[in-house]
Chain A
């Protein structure tokens, strides 16, 4: 069984922004959502999640707010800012261009 590949540099940011684009979430919920949507293909350790979230927050792409979670405990909820949404669109387009280019190269038939 091969190890799941590491996330390509910067793609974690993209995933996090995308997840938060759907709805504001706290850290644990984000980690659950990540596992849910990517299956076991993409493995993000919880240890990398938080530094990545804090980096996005410092960049101003997402913003955080302490709210009471559904379990009655205080939790830090992250949500996308307007600048973050535009950044996400831009990065998504960039990502698609990149992957389609790579796919085209990989689709070349050997003679």
Chain B
């Protein structure tokens, strides 16, 4: 029935919203009319004109209050208020440009730094893996006394899969290179994953086209099939849909293309770009093999099973298997880890770096709180008067908050494009060689930056506003606007801020300095070999021409000789691993004669000139010679660490090391060389690379080899000659991964160096922000005391006494701040060293100079305004009062 009223109500409401000024004018006119009428009435009752007007106003009870109450009645009051508050903030911010610029700049730096780091780290730390229910996917490692990330044998995998009770699916994976050659085309090396039939089921990703292989395709003797990656399909087949059902020639055999995986499935960060997947279709012999550990296991947990439960169950299963199979090493076990993109150490370092940046944001907050506090101190009187004439206190608090939010949102709006630009810069500079790390600005980053900005605004706006609103109106009004000392509350608060700021800055400094120095030292670590002038390339000896080991040995011999003949090459070698293009990639479980426990060691098979080419020094015994041929006594060279660990105080020459199992094929140790390492491994410990063994390539042979040359010429010139030499021996043999050792090393340490640079920049940023902040607050509060100091001097205090008065307080605060900073730094150091055990301790010199810098800034901040104050003529100050 009441619908008719809306005919009237809606236009009135709309008008109240849209034509605010008009409504206000009406209100004014209406009340003015009322007062006029009442005045007339009062005058008729015999009052004087002045009295009549006064009474009329009194009866209505304050025109402003009535207006305020009428406005309360109007709809969407909060929205109108907010708009007015923002308008007021903008006006008042325009009126104090110095505050505004300082505040906005602080927000820009603080938020920008955080948003940038967030967009760099987000894909590594926070983004869930691109699979359904990624938390259910885990990696299963085998552990040994030397390694906690040891692969599995096929027989073990078969048992794990058949007998576990915790996995919905458990798959095995082995990365391999395959040679792909279409008739009449040069051969191409592809990167493939050999997997069990249920691999795609574990990750829960359906094919883009065609079908994915299943367990049926994984049977012994099954028709060979492949699934292509989207990238490879686009690159090699131009996205041609008719590729399904086509036959591909891989490593001389044929396989049928049955499907294409969706875009980006080949790019999970932890295994790099993949061209194709194919099932094992393992032979009966391989399925029984328990000695050759080469498989990685990925499993999808049953719903409701936690990784810890799975870990316990798999450990129990492993004990059963060890009891049943005597050829399984009983000292090993199983370890289950969640699937992560970066290794745990890198992850912890990144999280830590993130924490430090957050501290930078905190410093920015403190700075802003200070600035706002100074502003509210100046405006305290204005606030008090507004309160006295009826403005309510909540409104005042809100106005101050609005100020801060306006500043922080403006700052955030500037920071977002800025951080986008920084992110692009980082992405283009540092990750250029890593196609699998893509730094992008996405909604999550924007949300994060916005949250940072708003949080900053709330923190720095609320506290000073609260302090200001707490002040007693009468006190403030009684106080001289240029009063001698600030109120007790704000002063305490400001002192607290100074202490906090010094402490925060020192903590950031301690953390960043030790991390940056640590990373720098890791990058600058002596690798035990010389990268300058070394060029490496890969070759795959597959196909009928290289089926026999003897054929391959002939090839190695010819190749080494011809390469050594290239002018400008001082030495050349052929080896089995991809060192130094990639750090250690082949390790083996070995048996030591006379010892029951197996060892795990990096394993390299190389021609005699390997050590000369990489400049690995000989410590004892001899290196390989051309006489260490096939059929002669099998020999081996080991590294110092291994020699020391296995035969302390003994001569290792003549000791024997062999394969595990019933057929050891003992090899005699003939020499000991220096340890080699790679900077990218410095941050994390991989125990299985501490022991390093070398065997003559001529006595072993392999299909996948690395060609290494040392040259004093331009690497590019050598590269083309290397290709020429190889194609002269075999026209169909592709040379790939041609890279200088220096470039490879830079690529491997790119993320470490990036982290060090970013952290260093943030530490400097934090320090500068803190210095500006301390200087700002201290000089402001000291300048506020100018009146008091002038008064003291007028009463006869000497300049030095006055100076000391200010400095004494400053020194107290600085000492407190330094103590808090030291304590925080110590805690941080503990955390850091528990995260990265081989991180060097921060250097005293750097820490000392950083502390000195901080303390001098603080002292100067106290001294300069105090000195200025003590210089002024006391009479001037007093007259100014």
**In the bound complex, CA of A26 to CA of B31 (Å):** 11
Select one of A28, A47, A62 contacting B69, CB under 8 A: A47
The smallest beta-carbon distance between B27 and chain A, in angstroms, is: 8
The smallest beta-carbon distance between A52 and chain B, in angstroms, is: 8
**In the bound complex, CA of A76 to CA of B33 (Å):** 9
Indicate whether A97 reaches chain B with its CB closer than 8 angstroms: no
Supposing A45-B59, A47-B66, A50-B70 touch, asked if A26 and B8 sit within 8 A by C-beta, the answer is no
**In the bound complex, CA of A58 to CA of B13 (Å):** 6
- Write the chain A residue with the least CB distance to B29: A74
Mark the stretch among A7-15, A16-24, A80-88, A100-108 that contacts chain B.
A80-88
The answer to whether A60 and B8 have CB atoms under 8 Å apart is yes
Most buried by B among A31, A45, A60, A61: A60
The answer to whether B13 and A26 have CB atoms under 8 Å apart is no
Instruction: State the interface size on chain B (CB cutoff 8 A).
Output: 37
The answer to whether B9 and A60 have CB atoms under 8 Å apart is yes
Contacts of B73 in A (CB 8 A): 51, 54-55, 58
Q: Which of B1-32 contact A (CB under 8 A)?
A: 1-10, 12-13, 16, 26-27, 29-31
Q: Encode contact with B along A30-53: 1 for CB under 8 Å, 0 otherwise.
A: 011000000000000111101100
Most buried by B among A27, A31, A32, A83: A83
Contacts of A61 in B (CB 8 A): 5
Indicate whether B379 reaches chain A with its CB closer than 8 angstroms: no
The answer to whether A83 and B8 have CB atoms under 8 Å apart is yes
Q: Is the interface of A mostly helix, strand, loop or mixed?
A: helix
The answer to whether B37 and A28 have CB atoms under 8 Å apart is yes
The smallest beta-carbon distance between A77 and chain B, in angstroms, is: 10
Supposing A47-B62, A50-B70 touch, asked if A27 and B5 sit within 8 A by C-beta, the answer is no
Contacts of A66 in B (CB 8 A): 26
- Write the chain B residue with the least CB distance to A75: B33
The answer to whether B74 and A58 have CB atoms under 8 Å apart is yes
Supposing A57-B12, A60-B6 touch, asked if A51 and B69 sit within 8 A by C-beta, the answer is yes
Indicate whether B75 reaches chain A with its CB closer than 8 angstroms: yes
Contacts of B74 in A (CB 8 A): 54, 58
Indicate whether B36 reaches chain A with its CB closer than 8 angstroms: yes
The smallest beta-carbon distance between A21 and chain B, in angstroms, is: 15
**In the bound complex, CA of A54 to CA of B61 (Å):** 17
The answer to whether B9 and A59 have CB atoms under 8 Å apart is yes
**In the bound complex, CA of A100 to CA of B3 (Å):** 30
Contacts of A82 in B (CB 8 A): 4
Binding site for B on A (CB under 8 A): 26-28, 31-32, 45-48, 50-51, 54-55, 57-63, 66, 69, 71, 73-76, 81-84, 86-87
Given contacts A28-B38, A58-B75, list 7 more A-B pairs with CB under 8 A: A27-B34, A45-B60, A46-B61, A50-B66, A51-B69, A58-B16, A87-B5
Binding site for A on B (CB under 8 A): 1-10, 12-13, 16, 26-27, 29-31, 33-34, 36-38, 40-41, 59-62, 65-66, 69-70, 72-75
CB-based closest 8 A-B pairs:
A60-B5, A60-B9, A47-B61, A83-B5, A60-B8, A28-B37, A83-B4, A46-B60
Q: List 27 A-B contacts (CB under 8 A).
A: A26-B33, A27-B33, A28-B33, A28-B34, A28-B37, A46-B66, A48-B69, A50-B69, A55-B73, A58-B13, A58-B16, A58-B74, A58-B75, A60-B4, A60-B12, A63-B8, A66-B26, A73-B36, A74-B29, A81-B5, A81-B7, A81-B8, A82-B4, A83-B2, A83-B3, A83-B4, A86-B1
